[in-house]
Amino acid sequence: MKHLQKNIRRVAIFLCALFALLAAWGAYSLLTYGSRWFASSANTFMRTRKKNVIAGDILDRNNVVLATTINGQRVYQDDLNTRRAVVHAVGDSGSNVNNSAESFFASYLYGFNSSFLERLSFALRGEQRRGDTVRLTIDSKLAAYIASIFPSGKAGAVVVMNYQTGEVLTEQSFPTFDPQNITDSVKNDPQKPFFNRAIQGLYTPGSTFKMVTAASVIENYTNYDTLTLNCTGLLTLGNRIITDAGTNLQENKLTTHGNITLKRAFQVSCNNSFAQLALQLGDARLRKTAEDFGFNDNFLFRDLVVENSSYPTTNRTDGEIAWTGAGQSALTASPLHMCMIASAIANDGVMMEPKALLSATAPNGTQRAGLTSKVYRKPLTAEQAAVLKDYMRAVVTGGTGASAAISGTKVCGKTGSAEIDGQEYTNAWFVGFLDESASPYALSIVVENAGGGGSVAAPIARKIFVWMLKNGYIQ
């Protein structure tokens, strides 16, 4: 009998432990995935709740109303240009934009976090319940300005963030649409205006990935500053032919850089040099550095759903490894992730988690949630980041990113021109930041099928930074 009782106690303790683990896992899952569950189109409870609660307002960081409810209908910002510019961040009433504020912050907007006393207060007053007011980190005026200068008719994305706090000041996708006038032409547009390229678009990063390759060289070679590479303009590895911008093999015209240092190779974006560096590093070391920056990670950010970036793990021939070092091969990354990489370099090697929620405030004025900055990774030491910062400054002062330069302001950046099969032109990239303690802002720009990053994306970056400096973005 005693033996039986002992076994029963053991089983009971085991079951209690399992229950505790289940409860802990449930709490963790709710904390981590809660917003994703609320945002799911399969959430029938949410659809029912929407009928019984007046959705809270959505504001930008300057308290500009971006979405509100009038007579039971969801309406959006009065100004058409602003309304279109922020549509991917804010969303629409039909949930055509995945994981926008309308769906991702639904737990606040529809009062799921309200207490029993708050609910009772509405009932006693005989009023329909109201959800919380959600204030986003985005600046609608900045978004409207960017929309006005983005190349007409082109698809692409722009992300701007504070690299010290992680606040996302804008995450825009092009083409845009009017959430209050969704026509059949919008629904059937081959450029997919509902798709949020800023956080969902997975692009070949092109030469912007050279930030990662250079970081790997700096980490693994003590003599990185005296390394000399030889660019002959042509590197053939199996079926891979690696050339530099301006090369025309049919006309036997090669762009060559000759003997070149790492800094100069970065400044002029020499593909041949970075292909050689990737081969010298080896795939394992280059992949480790990429993964330190977040490639191949499962992004589980509290405020944003961001598609995972990928460093290839199969078909790793010498040709593929070399092309990876130059930013091609099967690499993929979102514009927001590339902005985070530039931000880490700007922020002394510290990569912050991107933040979209500034605050959630209950109808009675109580703040339900607020901005809490969080470190996501530390891929670089401060010393390594300083070297890369110097390289990126050189890109703007005398390299491929010269069109982003602003007199009297330290702009750092990296251009990219990613080759995509089937496109007439390359995708134009620019990622960079202001190396100014009073203006800690980074950005990422991609313009699809547009040409060179230096000629197309860098001038856009300059205009954005100039606008920001003229409109109060100095702490």
The total number of structural domains in the chain stands at: 2
Q: What is the average pLDDT across 252-280?
A: 91
Rounded Cα–Cα distance for residues 178 and 156 (Å): 17
pLDDT tens digit string along 381-411? 999 999 999 999 999 999 999 999 999 999 9
Domain-located, residue 91: no
pLDDT at 37 over 60: no
Are 450 and 428 spatial neighbours (Cβ–Cβ below 8 Å)? yes
Tokens representing 394?
């050189």
Residue 315, Cβ neighbours under 10 Å: how many?
Answer: 10
Rounded Cα–Cα distance for residues 243 and 297 (Å): 31
Rounded Cα–Cα distance for residues 192 and 189 (Å): 6
Residue 343, Cβ neighbours under 10 Å: how many?
Answer: 27
Q: What is the average pLDDT across 308-326?
A: 94
Residue 441, Cβ neighbours under 10 Å: how many?
Answer: 22
How many distinct helices (H) and strands (E) make up the chain?
A: 17, 19
CATH of the domain at 403: 3.40.710.10
User: What is the predicted pLDDT for the residue at 124?
Assistant: 62
Rounded Cα–Cα distance for residues 101 and 58 (Å): 8
Which segment of 3-7, 92-96, 162-166, 285-289 scores lowest on mean pLDDT? 3-7
pLDDT at 334 over 60: yes
Q: What is the average pLDDT across 260-268?
A: 96
User: What is the predicted pLDDT for the residue at 49?
Assistant: 61
**The residue type at 22:** L
Tokens representing 287?
């992949």
pLDDT tens digit string along 58-87? 999 999 999 999 998 999 999 999 999 999
pLDDT at 25 over 50: no
Domain-located, residue 186: no
Are 83 and 329 spatial neighbours (Cβ–Cβ below 8 Å)? no
Quickly tell me which residue has 């004025």 as its tokens. 365
Rounded Cα–Cα distance for residues 134 and 130 (Å): 12
Rounded Cα–Cα distance for residues 81 and 67 (Å): 14
Domain-located, residue 215: yes
| Boundaries of domain holding 337 | 206-356+370-470
pLDDT tens digit string along 434-452? 999 999 999 999 999 999 9
pLDDT at 121 over 80: no
Domain-located, residue 384: yes
- 330 CB-side CA count, 13 A: 12
User: What is the predicted pLDDT for the residue at 29?
Assistant: 47
Angle at 28 between CA 22 and CA 32, to 5 degrees: 145
pLDDT tens digit string along 203-258? 999 999 999 999 999 999 999 999 999 988 888 888 888 888 877 777 677 788 88
**The residue type at 68:** T
User: What is the predicted pLDDT for the residue at 246?
Assistant: 75
Q: Given strand 133-136, what is the order of strands in its sheet?
A: 73-76, 65-70, 58-59, 133-136, 357-361, 367-370
Distances from the Cα of 446 to the Cα of 156, 171, 174, angstroms? 5, 12, 10
Confidence of residue 32 (pLDDT cuts 50, 70, 90): low
User: What is the predicted pLDDT for the residue at 122?
Assistant: 65
User: What is the predicted pLDDT for the residue at 234?
Assistant: 85
Identify the sign of the CA torsion 402, 406, 408, 411. negative
Rounded Cα–Cα distance for residues 71 and 460 (Å): 41
User: What is the predicted pLDDT for the residue at 28?
Assistant: 46
User: What is the predicted pLDDT for the residue at 11?
Assistant: 63
Domain-located, residue 77: no
SS3 250: coil
Distances from the Cα of 306 to the Cα of 36, 266, 277, angstroms? 12, 28, 30
- Predicted TM-score of the model (pTM): 0.89
H or E element at residue 431: strand 427-434
Confidence of residue 31 (pLDDT cuts 50, 70, 90): low
pLDDT at 114 over 90: no
Rounded Cα–Cα distance for residues 356 and 23 (Å): 29
pLDDT at 144 over 90: yes
Tokens representing 289?
């550095």
pLDDT at 45 over 60: no
Rounded Cα–Cα distance for residues 124 and 418 (Å): 61
**9 vs 173, more confident:** 173
Domain-located, residue 16: yes
Domain-located, residue 86: no
Quickly tell me which residue has 């990185």 as its tokens. 224
User: What is the predicted pLDDT for the residue at 401?
Assistant: 97
User: What is the predicted pLDDT for the residue at 437?
Assistant: 92
Q: What is the average pLDDT across 450-462?
A: 97
pLDDT at 123 over 90: no
pLDDT at 26 over 60: no
User: What is the predicted pLDDT for the residue at 237?
Assistant: 87
Domain-located, residue 121: no
**What is the average pLDDT value for the chain, to the nearest integer?**
90
User: What is the predicted pLDDT for the residue at 239?
Assistant: 83
